[in-house]
């Protein structure tokens, strides 16, 4: 069933399932630099997946910086990722320029499996593929404990709710 959100007020269609708390986290194949990363390659602890259209936009940049700052105090209890379709080289350049050291970046440019499996790939409504803005928290057992699909892609997610869910999953 096609679902839609809006991008600057215009509807766009999302491909894949709408995940919710209690669902098993789907697998994916992303790139961290030139290393292939799957869900199984992420540590078995509380994980935050902050999904953004592109790190080269103001809201996506702010979202990554906000989570970067907020998770520092959680240390090794969590693993946190920003997922986008940006090339790994652009992600690396962004992280270096913005001093992002805790949030790791995952590029879904390889086969869009994160976007398709997590229901965030924009399949129509834009002239190029992008991921919709979303935030997911996955516990150490691989179960989603929090899922937010931001209804207007240019808006910010609910940072407080996502961070509360992450802290709870890490406890």
Residue 99 lies inside a defined structural domain of this protein: yes
Six-digit token string for 68: 């970067």
Element (H, E) at 3: strand 3-7
pLDDT of residue 2: 59
- pLDDT of 4 > 80? The answer is no
Q: What are phi and psi of 145, to 5 degrees?
A: -110, -10
- For residues 80-100, average pLDDT: 94
Mean pLDDT score of the chain, rounded to an integer?
Answer: 93
Kindly state whether residue 1 falls inside one of the protein's structural domains. Answer: no
pLDDT the model gives residue 109: 94
Question: CATH number, domain at 108?
Answer: 3.40.30.10
Per-residue tokens: 29: 């194949």
Catalytic residue among 30, 60, 80, 95: 60
Handedness of CA 22, 31, 116, 111 (dihedral sign): negative
Residues of the domain holding 60: 10-170
Q: Give the number of domains in the chain.
A: 1
Q: Give me the pLDDT at residue 135, please.
A: 97
pLDDT band, very low/low/confident/very high, at 74 (cuts 50, 70, 90): confident
Specify if 5 maps to a domain: no
Q: Is residue 3 part of a domain?
A: no
The question of whether 60 is a catalytic residue gets the answer yes
Rounded to whole angstroms, how far apart are CA atoms 47 and 34? 21
CA distance 137 to 80: 9
Residue 82 forms part of a structural domain: yes
Assigned domain for 140 exists = yes
Q: Say what the pLDDT of residue 162 is.
A: 96
pTM of the model: 0.94
The DSSP call for residue 76 is G
The per-residue pLDDT for 127 is 86
In this structure, are residues 148 and 157 in contact, taking their beta carbons and an 8 Å threshold?
Answer: yes
Q: Is residue 150 part of a domain?
A: yes
Q: How far apart are alpha carbons 40 and 71 in whole angstroms?
A: 22
Is the pLDDT at 101 greater than 80? The verdict is: yes
**Percent of the chain's residues with pLDDT above 90:** 82
């Amino acid at each position: 069933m096609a679902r839609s959100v809006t991008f600057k007020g215009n509807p766009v269609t999302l491909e894949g399932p709408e995940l919710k708390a209690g669902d098993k986290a789907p697998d994916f194949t992303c790139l961290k630099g030139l290393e292939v990363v799957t869900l199984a390659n992420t540590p078995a602890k509380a994980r935050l997946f902050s999904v953004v259209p592109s790190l080269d936009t103001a809201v996506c940049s702010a979202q990554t910086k906000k989570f970067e700052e907020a998770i520092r105090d959680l240390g090794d209890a969590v693993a946190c990722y920003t997922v986008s379709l940006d090339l790994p080289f652009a992600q690396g350049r962004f992280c270096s320029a913005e001093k992002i050291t805790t949030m790791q970046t995952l590029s879904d440019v390889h086969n869009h499996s994160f976007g398709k499996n997590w229901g965030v790939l924009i399949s129509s409504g834009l002239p190029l593929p992008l991921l919709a803005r979303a935030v997911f928290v996955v516990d150490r057992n691989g179960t989603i404990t929090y899922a937010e699909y931001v209804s207007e892609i240019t808006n910010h997610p609910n940072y407080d709710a996502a961070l509360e869910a992450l802290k709870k999953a890490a406890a």
